[in-house]
Amino acid sequence: MQIRTATEADFEPLMHLINAAFEVEKFFKAGDRVDASMLRGYFQQGTFLLLETDRALTGAIFVEVKTPPDGEPKRAYFGLLSVSPHHQKSGIGRRLVAAAEEFARESGAWFMDITVVNLRTELPPIYEKLGYRITGTKPFPATQMPITQLCHFLCMTKELGHR
């Protein structure tokens, strides 16, 4: 299994992987998780790290390193953690999170932030085991992704330290 940075050639397989991985959210969200326009926006904002197994895309994670106001430590964000439904519960997600954290550390980030939809109650305990803690909430962008149930994001963060 190899982790690498996504290129434009990965665009279509990446969009398919993300949408397949997020099928589990159909119980509260209408439509696909990303469309071509949204995915292009992510490509412009940050970096996708991809994990391949036997040259097939099996996992991906988006990482954005943010420039803070003067005097504040640099922060990063990861999202769209996606593992092929056929490869879930095999440690790929954990490997991708570790790779994202290392990428952020190498970019000078001291903290990693994530958001988790409150309706995905299985996720906060998983991230807590990885060292993340809930720090607040924020609205779910229902105008960007139509929802069928009211929901919001749980904001979580982890101190990465610095090298």
Q: How confident is the model at residue 163 (pLDDT cuts 50, 70, 90)?
A: low
Average pLDDT in the 1-5 region?
A: 89
What is the pLDDT, as a whole number, of residue 2? 86
Domain ranges of the chain: 2-159
Q: Vertex 49, ends 63 and 154: CA angle to 5°?
A: 40
Q: Give the confidence band of 162 by pLDDT, cuts at 50, 70, 90.
A: low
Task: Give 46-56 pLDDT, tens digit per residue.
Answer: 999 999 988 88
Q: Are 21 and 89 in contact (CB under 8 A)?
A: no
Does residue 54 sit in helix, strand or coil? coil
Question: Which CATH code fits 2-159?
Answer: 3.40.630.30
| Mean pLDDT score across all residues of the chain | 93
Average pLDDT over residues 119-139: 97
pLDDT of 71 over the 90 cut: no
Q: What's the Cα-to-Cα distance from 18 to each of 27, 116, 133, 163, rounded to whole Å?
A: 16, 15, 25, 32
